[in-house]
Structure 1
Amino acid sequence: MNSENSPVSSRSSSLRFVTFVLALALLVVACNRSKGGSQPGTLRVGASAVPHAEILEFAKPLLAKEGVTLQVRTFDDYVQPNLALADGSLDANFFQHTPYLDEFQKSRPLGIVASTKVHIEPMAVYSKRHKAIAEIERGETIAIPNDPSNSGRALKLLEKAGLLKLDPAAGVRATVRDVKDNPKDLRIKELDAAQLPRVLSDVGAAVLNANYALQAGLSAAKDGLAVEDKDGPYANILAVLPAEQNNADYQKLQRVLTSVEVRSFIEKKYGGAVIPAF
């Protein structure tokens, strides 16, 4: 029998082929996650345009002094930055708080972990029709974000403003089903967070995340009819895959984003609409 055509030889050839394919796949993954070399290194970070990308742009020259080139990619939604991080298109992202990340990964267990706390964006109630919460009329529509972590947060703010009462057992995960008292018979409309500034003229009021409020020229400190407390679990974070946490370039980014220079920038740039969390 010709040894080249033996079952043992075929199995050996198949094993070599599988090994080659696996090695090639690992090489592709490594290339996808490449930092561009350590001299200097490169970090690709996804962010919401305001204030996250603005903070990162300020941090760029500070990070360059540490030998790291920062590439900022902006997103206008709360889904794609996590998907891009998981598939290796990004090295980190900066747009969300930990409750949102935890809720997101209930349906998409991507293995992303929360890292450094950078700032807090107080959520607020805004209106183009009214100048005070008390002016909101019976039967009006109040728009809130539709993602679970931020909708619960918005409902808690409406409760703080005295517009409704929630089931105490609901906590931060409250939904519209947990509204137990609605004395003005308000209609709560849930929309994508990015759409809320566009509907302000069509509703009695809306509860906006600070990044979208800032993009619309609004500030919680100046324009908010009711503003959430500054404490709580909603600090905006750097998020990363576990394998990157000990990366030297990433650790430099963490240090820069919690530096005295970045703190001063946030305080001067946003005048209380965004607050350092470090």
Structure 2
Amino acid sequence: MKKTGLFLTSLLLAASLVTACGGKQEAAPANGGAAAEQQTKIKVGVTGGPHEEIFNKVKEVAKGQGIDVELVVFNDYVQPNQALDKGNLDMNSFQTIPFLAKFNQDHKTKIVEIGKGVTFPMGLYSTKHKKVEDIPEGGVVGIQNDPTNRARALLLYQAAGLIKLKDGVKDNATPLDIVENPKKLQFKELEAAFLARSLGNVEVASINTNFAMEAGYSPKKDAIFSETSDSPYVNIIAVREADKDNPTYKKLVDIYRSEEVKKFIDEHFEGAVLPSW
């Protein structure tokens, strides 16, 4: 019995030594696999198109810095915030500050900006005129019919020197707030998606970048007047309020706002999308 016990003890000791050595060898693989397994994963909601393309570049850069980004692509402007609020996303990138403010107000959510992204400059487009000064008196001009874009369009017409709005209206502006209209322009409200196809029926129209690009127009080349990169309608990266100080999320924002990503945006979109940094 003593011999048997000694034999078993020797076997257990040998096994423990083999296991210990094996553990050491696996802990430091040559390719850094253990570190890769510990990457922080972040689920980001984006809308299809430019936001998705930009974040694919961010994802590529982030992987080299230990962050694994999973993209979830949406085709509307409501679900990305709903999914974020419910905890199905960690952050999203698709909306402007005024849009988020209205969403929070309407849905009683607590979603906040964690960083500024890019601007899709709204522009004034015309197939009849090369300059805003050429728009004739009494001309019919197009604007979007949804509240957020309608106010944005009116502010754009004001920036172009065509009208003046009542002081302080800003994001709540409607045609009723026009206090000066020297050319007596007639504002025709249409669905945002239809404006590019309606240029033959109006003197000029305010068109969102995505719809302008879909219609074959270049915001940089074809708009006779447009917003600049300091537009208050810059798109933002958003998170739940409770996560606003998350260091990993902040690191991802820094990667988004890096020179490498900016170069990609400038080269890929050729001025149709403007970095805010």
- State the TM-score, normalized to the length of structure 2: 0.75
SS of the residue corresponding to residue 231 of structure 1 reads coil
Deviation at 1:117, TM superposition (A): 0.8
Aligned to 1:187: 186
Q: Which ranges of structure 2 fall in alignment gaps of 5 or more residues?
A: 1-36
Whichever of the two has the greater Rg, that structure is 2
Aligned to 1:174: 173
Superposed CA RMSD? 2.7
SS of the residue corresponding to residue 168 of structure 1 reads coil
Distance 1:192-1:39 versus aligned 2 partners, 3 A rule: farther
Distance 1:165-1:48 versus aligned 2 partners, 3 A rule: same
Deviation at 1:183, TM superposition (A): 4.0
For 1:108-159, what per-residue CA distance to the aligned partner results, in whole angstroms no more than 9, with x for missing partners? 2211101111222322111234333244345544332334333222112112
Distance 1:133-1:263 versus aligned 2 partners, 3 A rule: same
Distance 1:261-1:161 versus aligned 2 partners, 3 A rule: same
Is this contact kept in 2: 1:125–1:226, CA < 8 A?
yes
Q: Distance in 1 between matches of 2:46 and 2:134?
A: 36
Aligned to 1:14: none
- Aligned ranges 1:1-278 → 2 under 5 Å: 39-278=38-277
Q: Distance in 2 between matches of 1:74 and 1:126?
A: 29
Query: Aligned AA for 2:41?
Result: T
SS of the residue corresponding to residue 169 of structure 2 reads helix
Tell which deviates more after alignment, 109-118 or 212-221: 212-221
Is this contact kept in 1: 2:119–2:231, CA < 8 A?
no
SS of the residue corresponding to residue 211 of structure 1 reads helix
Query: Aligned AA for 2:47?
Result: S
Is this contact kept in 2: 1:77–1:194, CA < 8 A?
no
SS of the residue corresponding to residue 190 of structure 1 reads strand
Is this contact kept in 2: 1:193–1:208, CA < 8 A?
yes
Q: Which ranges of structure 1 fall in alignment gaps of 5 or more residues?
A: 1-37
Distance 1:232-1:132 versus aligned 2 partners, 3 A rule: closer
For 1:173-232, what per-residue CA distance to the aligned partner results, in whole angstroms no more than 9, with x for missing partners? 321110123344433233443443344444432212333333433232211111124324
Query: Aligned AA for 2:109?
Result: L
Query: Aligned AA for 2:243?
Result: E
Is this contact kept in 1: 2:112–2:244, CA < 8 A?
no
Is this contact kept in 1: 2:230–2:276, CA < 8 A?
no
- State the TM-score, normalized to the length of structure 1: 0.75
Q: How many residues align?
A: 242
Deviation at 1:43, TM superposition (A): 2.5
Q: Distance in 1 between matches of 2:38 and 2:140?
A: 55
Is this contact kept in 2: 1:100–1:150, CA < 8 A?
no
Distance 1:212-1:89 versus aligned 2 partners, 3 A rule: farther
Q: Distance in 1 between matches of 2:246 and 2:229?
A: 31
Deviation at 1:261, TM superposition (A): 0.4
SS of the residue corresponding to residue 124 of structure 2 reads strand
